[in-house]
Amino acid sequence: MKDTDGYAVFLFPQALEALGEAVKPYLTESPHGAHVLCTGIDTAGSLIQMSVDGITPEGQALQVQLMVPSSMVRMIVSARGEEAFGFKPRAMAVAAPVPATSPPSAGSEAPAE
């Protein structure tokens, strides 16, 4: 995965327990919990497919496809290096004031119908 481009897929604790040792090589620990770092995801259907970059024991690059039921996924976070990400105050666009229109004067006549 290139620096920060990709996805962090957080699984429910029950999912981590059910998957057991099989998922541990693909997990990354962080202060926010264990997650799977993916280069791509496909959320269509009942399974979520995660593309994970890996290295074989011989040192060759390998891409692994992991699929888990969508009910096991707690949250997917998109991490892109080129964009600001996270919760922070954002600058709000201020609309230009609308010029006030003067109400018709009491002496003016209404148009004839």
- Provide mean pLDDT across the span 56-82: 89
Largest CA distance in the chain: 94
Using the CB atoms, write b or e for 80-93: b if 16+ within 10 Å.
eeeeeeeeeeeeee
pTM of the model: 0.65
pLDDT of residue 32: 86
User: Mean pLDDT of all residues in the chain?
Assistant: 81
Cα–Cα distance measured from residue 77 to residue 56, given in angstroms and rounded to the nearest whole number = 27
pLDDT tens-digit map of 13-47: 999 999 999 999 999 998 888 999 999 999 999 99
CB atoms within 10 A of CB 75: 12
pLDDT of residue 1: 39
Counting DSSP H helices and E strands in the chain, the numbers are: 1, 7
